[in-house]
Amino acid sequence: MATMPTLAQRVERLLGVSVVSTSPVAGGDVCTTTKTRLSDGRTAVVKTRAHAPEGFFPTEAEGLGWLAEAGAPVPEVLAVDEDCLILAWVEPGRATPEAAASLGRTLAAVHAVGAPGFGGPHDGFIGRLPMPNGSATDWPEFYATKRVLPYLKLAVDRQQIAPTDAADVELCVRRLTEVAGPAEPPARLHGDLWSGNVVFAREGAAHLVDPAAYGGHRETDLAMLSLFGLPQLPRLLEAYQEVSPLAEGWQDRIGLHQLFPLLVHACQFGSSYGARAGAAARAFLG
């Protein structure tokens, strides 16, 4: 298979080994992803993005490392620079109940390791968008000021949410303290844990990729998993609860935690997600 000379040369300079072949990987709307076979027998995946914002790839690598410290199953970071990120390749396989259960137990343990506070030491990215972090004294304040309201404003500015839906999201935010459930310490979150960022590997395990890691509420990760239908999700949740039971009423709060990713999607992919955010908010206005 032919190689892409410029990309291959970049990989060779960063890793110090020759590239045997490269091939594009389908999927992904933020980065270009290339599978690369190396002369030492390893296979890597190279992520690149034209005009990537400063810190884009180093922040992702930092998030992967932070999750790995807590025992999260993430691909090994082989090299990172401002223009690319090189990871160990994870060969995709089939989602099995056993792999989902193992991931559920591991995710519970990763969340339990915790974080210094709600937020992070510096701002990050989610998809193509910047993601504010900073810090807050409690989760409702953090979720309102750093997750929901910034993307609500952007969705309004881009005309991707109807005025009535935007108003209902704002009303829901005002009720956050009332509807947020019992207070919990900050959990160590993947932060962008939709189904596309879970890779069930051929050898049977599941790996987490493309994080937007920060300290937050563990129900946010779980709510994001259900947003687009992760295979074997019921088994994952069952195993999670065996390790770390969720607070009573967590199922009723799924829509609350989905406001953030729905608004992010509205900003990037259109008004249908703005409408879904409005509907999710209205469930908490009764």
Catalytic residue among 29, 138, 157, 192: 192
Question: Does 83 participate in catalysis according to the annotation?
Answer: no
**Non-local CB neighbours of 284 within 8 Å, separated by 6+ positions:** 172, 175, 179, 255, 256
> DSSP 3-state assignment of 234?
helix
As a whole number of angstroms, the distance between CA 285 and CA 135 comes to 27
Task: Calculate the CA 165 to chain-centre distance.
Answer: 25
CB 133 within 8 A of CB 124: yes
CB 146 within 8 A of CB 261: no
Residue 149's CB is within 10 A of a number of other CB atoms, namely 16
- The full length of the chain comes to 286
As a whole number of angstroms, the distance between CA 276 and CA 263 comes to 9
Helix (H) or strand (E) holding 90: none
User: Which residues participate in catalysis according to the annotation?
Assistant: 192
